Every structure is written in structure tokens, then in C-alpha cells.
Amino acid sequence: MAKADTAGAELGVYLCSAGREFASLRSLLTRALESGARAVVRVREEESEALDKRLWHGSDSGILLPHGDATAPQADRQPIVLITEGQAETKPSNGARLWFQYLAPRVALPEVNRFDRMFVIAVEGSLGAVQFDEWRASGYVVRLWRQDESNHWREEKPE
């Protein structure tokens, strides 16, 4: 990826305790929707259906997050669009300005800087220092957030 394409793009990396990944994504997406933003969430193919169901059913929170698959009719009307890693979503049909990567140990960021903010939701220990070095070398401003024992987020300096 060319450095000029990503200069200054903010990338928030959220490292969660195992079992807290969906709650973390749900919290960030809820805040995004409350602000009026639209989002793209990229997920591994094998987790797409489960994520789809959990977003609709609200899990234990009772919060439903309206969304649709990027390939579905009228995806442009959805506040949240789900894509899988095999799909390229450089021009989100829903006009999203936020991009989320959900649970992928090796994350390839969008090729075109089309988003105001990008987020990576990962389990603690699934990303290495090499990943952070690659993001910084590509020009991303990386902000690292870790959950503490009380499930509160604290910002740390990336490795």
C-alpha cells in the first residue's frame, strides 16, 4: 500500500479479553449509530452468519443493530453493511465513513483511504508487533486500546 494513500489515517486497535469481542464491537457500533454515522464491518467468511444473527438478536443487551450484507438489495439503505474478507468494499454502498475489522489475526487495511476512522477489534495476543510496524510504515496513526479487568478501555502506546 502506498504511503500517500493513507497518510494520517487514524486506526483504532481495540484488544479485548477473550469472550468480550462481540460486546466491544456492539458498543462501538452503537456509539457510531447514535452519532448518525454509517459503518462497514469486515468479518471472516466463517463468522459472517453468526455475526449477522447476533447483531439482529441483540445478544444479552437487547440492543438491535440494523444492518445488511453488502451484496443484498438495498444495502445502500443500511446504516451498517457487513462484508467478508473476500469482498472489496472501497466504495461503500451505504456511504460509510467508518470501517471495522472484526476478529482477524492478520488484517489487511482498505487500499483506498475512504474512511474517516478505522477500527480493528481483536482478541488480546492475536496481533503482533510486526502488524503494528506495518500499519505505522504505511502511514496510519495507530491508537491502541486495551480492556482492563473491569472491561474499561485504556489507551496505551502501541508496541
72-103 per-position pLDDT tens digit: 888 889 999 998 877 765 567 888 989 898 88
105-156 per-position pLDDT tens digit: 666 777 546 788 889 998 888 887 778 888 888 788 889 999 888 878 899 8
Q: Which CATH number goes with the domain that contains 133? A: 3.40.50.10110
Distance CA(45)–CA(99), nearest Å, equals 17
The number of distinct structural domains making up the chain is 1
Residues of the domain holding 64: 3-156
Question: Span 2-15, mean pLDDT?
Answer: 68
